[in-house]
Amino acid sequence: MTDVTAHAPTDVTTDVTTDAATDAAGTAAPAGAEGTAARAAATLSRPFTVRGLTARNRIAMAPMTRRFSPDGVPGQDVADYYTRRAAGDVGLIITEGTYVDHASAGTSDRVPRFHGEAALAGWKNVADSVHRAGGAIIPQLWHVGVTRTEGAGPVPDAEPIGPSGLSLSGEPKGRAMTQQDLDDVIAAFADAAAAAERLGFDGAELHGAHGYLIDQFLWSGSNRRTDAYGGDLVSRTRFAAEIVAACRAAVSDAFPLFFRMSQWKSDAYDAKLARTPQELGDLLTPLAEAGVDVFHASTRRYWLPEFEGSDLNLAGWVKKISGRPTLTVGSVGLDDDFFSAFQGNDSKVTGIEQLLDRLERDEFDMVAVGRALISDPEWAAKTLRGRTADITPFTAEMLTTLR
């Protein structure tokens, strides 16, 4: 078992002292809408720096698969989509998941890839455009693993692969990965991270959440291996840690690595990688030691406590245990989680007072916003300037267009 005391972060600056921030943390906030606006301006407008990346504020755009990149190539419409959010004062753009260069990595030929001359040229245009608008941007690097739909693009004859040849529900699917498969996927992630730095991105995020390939190794429900990549929780982190280490070796010291993680899986919302803080420490320590700079803790509702006896959410616990900065995410600014959108349901705009409470006590470092930024590209600007009454509500129909 691993000691769950905090590990010191490296090359991270998150504490920016201003009179407004001091007032927000140290005195009673003014009541009503004006008080919330002042708190939002003081708390969310602080810059965030890790290694060579500086985001101008604490608001990030969460990665959301949109499927508007025919043949895996992001076009000008994708560049405009992200740039509108950067121009609307989002500090950090985390792109939708992008497939690494492995035949089984993807499951749609309309999801962007992060390899090949055309796709990388498209992504350079996206990064340059976001930078001109004042934002920072990192790509999310992705392999879907055994969740791949057989016969789907971008490589129709590619076989789904995973730790044990099992679906997330435990049924036989695809095949178990060989050592050569493991080596090839690790190299694909490292190549993508190096490409991201070469193209001028400000960092990269590894998608280790939601039941996709990296997460399939972390979770006992899908990892039944008996070699060094399976077994107890620490052993199940080996594949993820080797990917992180390979990416760290492929980029410069100035280039930060983010790691997205979750307890829940795409068809198992009650799944738990870690049922106690101690187990969470066992999971986080190898990843932090391998080179993760920031953890992006994905939850469906950010305000829910992760473990009994504390109101800390998952991002809060991850920060406390790992000593690394964290992003929180999950229904920020909306009254329902994202699964309701897939059922055709709309969501109403809600306040962020509890979010500010948690930020003011440094429970986490950044806030990733999803559907609220699909509905309103200016959500960040309106929130920072006290114009929340003007925020456009989310409707499920908005998922059908790239606006």
Share above pLDDT 70 across residues of the chain, in percent, rounded to a whole number: 89
The model's confidence at residue 309, banded by pLDDT at 50, 70 and 90, is very high
Q: Are 191 and 100 in contact (CB under 8 A)?
A: yes
Q: Give φ, ψ of 384 to 5 degrees.
A: -70, -25
Q: What is the dihedral of CA 300, 303, 308, 310, to 10 degrees?
A: 150
pLDDT at 332 over 80: yes
For 229-282, how does the pLDDT look when each residue is reduced to its tens digit (9 = 90+)? 999 999 999 999 999 999 999 999 999 999 999 999 987 788 899 999 999 999
Residues classed as catalytic: 212
pLDDT for res 11: 40
Q: Letter for the amino acid at 120?
A: L
The model's confidence at residue 33, banded by pLDDT at 50, 70 and 90, is low
Q: What's the token pair of residue 135? A: 């934002």
pLDDT at 286 over 50: yes
* Its pTM surpasses 0.75: yes
For 141-180, how does the pLDDT look when each residue is reduced to its tens digit (9 = 90+)? 999 999 999 999 999 999 999 999 999 988 999 999 999 9
pLDDT at 25 over 50: no
Measured distance CA(89)–CA(57) in Å, rounded = 8
pLDDT for res 35: 83
pLDDT at 2 over 70: no
Span 366-383, average pLDDT: 95
